[in-house]
């Protein structure tokens, strides 16, 4: 008997139970309905934020194992140190959990994933190759945001 060639395909990592419960409560209009959506990672309270790094890391590993056939498709291991990637990967992971409810949605998710790769590579630029081999640079020296003069409080309030 021939072995099934698709038996090697790993399932997408399940979100943490705390997040799944939170999503279910939001969907039923419970007390979490007024809370932030879990894909808006910058707004989450500490208790919801706590289980996300491990899950998102598993998602990145799954994406790399499943889809990264070219070097520029690899999400670097330092993804959590790149704020833009944290936001993007969080949204992509939650979109993936919903996408497989219908075949058409799954196709759209793959298009979102392709656009994510483009944005990731554009944002990382030349640093991407270094990051992918474990040489993370917080921000290239030439473009330090600290070089921006601080804005007066009055101009920020407008």
- The answer to whether position 95 is within a domain reads yes
Task: Measure CA 82 to chain center.
Answer: 10
**For tokens 């081999």, what's the residue?**
133
130 or 111, greater pLDDT: 111
**For tokens 């939650």, what's the residue?**
94
- The answer to whether position 87 is within a domain reads yes
Q: Which domain holds residue 30?
A: 17-136
Q: Can you tell me whether residue 35 is helix, strand or coil?
A: coil
- The answer to whether position 85 is within a domain reads yes
In the chain, the N- to C-terminal Cα span, in Å, equals 72
Q: What pLDDT shows up at residue 144?
A: 65
Whole-structure pTM value: 0.83
- CA neighbor of 121 nearest in space, from 78, 72, 69, 67: 72
Checking if the pLDDT of 34 tops 60, the result is: yes
| pLDDT tens per residue, range 9-24 | 999 999 999 999 888 8
Q: How confident is the model at residue 47 (pLDDT cuts 50, 70, 90)?
A: very high
Domain count of the chain? Answer: 1
- The answer to whether position 151 is within a domain reads no
Hey, what are 60's tokens?
A: 């990145």
What's the CA dihedral at 120, 121, 125, 131 to 10 degrees?
Answer: 80
- The answer to whether position 132 is within a domain reads yes
Answer whether 56's CB lies under 8 Å from 48's CB: no
- The answer to whether position 82 is within a domain reads yes
- The answer to whether position 97 is within a domain reads yes
Q: Can you tell me whether residue 8 is helix, strand or coil?
A: coil
Going by C-beta distance under 8 Å and a sequence separation of 6 or more, which residues neighbour residue 131? 76, 77, 78, 82, 124, 137
- The answer to whether position 155 is within a domain reads no
């Amino acid at each position: 008997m021939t072995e099934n060639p698709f038996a090697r395909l790993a399932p997408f990592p399940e979100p943490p139970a705390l997040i799944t419960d939170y999503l279910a409560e939001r969907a039923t209009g419970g007390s979490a309905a007024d809370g932030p959506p879990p894909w808006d990672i910058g707004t989450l309270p500490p208790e919801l934020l706590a289980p996300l790094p491990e899950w998102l890391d598993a998602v990145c590993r799954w994406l790399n194992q499943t889809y990264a056939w070219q070097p520029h498709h690899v999400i670097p291991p330092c993804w959590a140190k790149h704020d833009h990637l944290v936001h993007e990967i969080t949204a992509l992971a939650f979109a993936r959990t919903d996408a497989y409810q219908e075949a058409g949605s799954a196709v759209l998710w793959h298009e979102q994933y392709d656009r994510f790769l483009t944005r990731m590579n554009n944002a990382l630029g030349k640093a991407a190759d270094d990051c992918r081999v474990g040489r993370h640079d917080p921000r290239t020296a030439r473009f330090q945001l600290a070089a921006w003069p601080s804005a007066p409080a009055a101009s920020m309030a407008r």
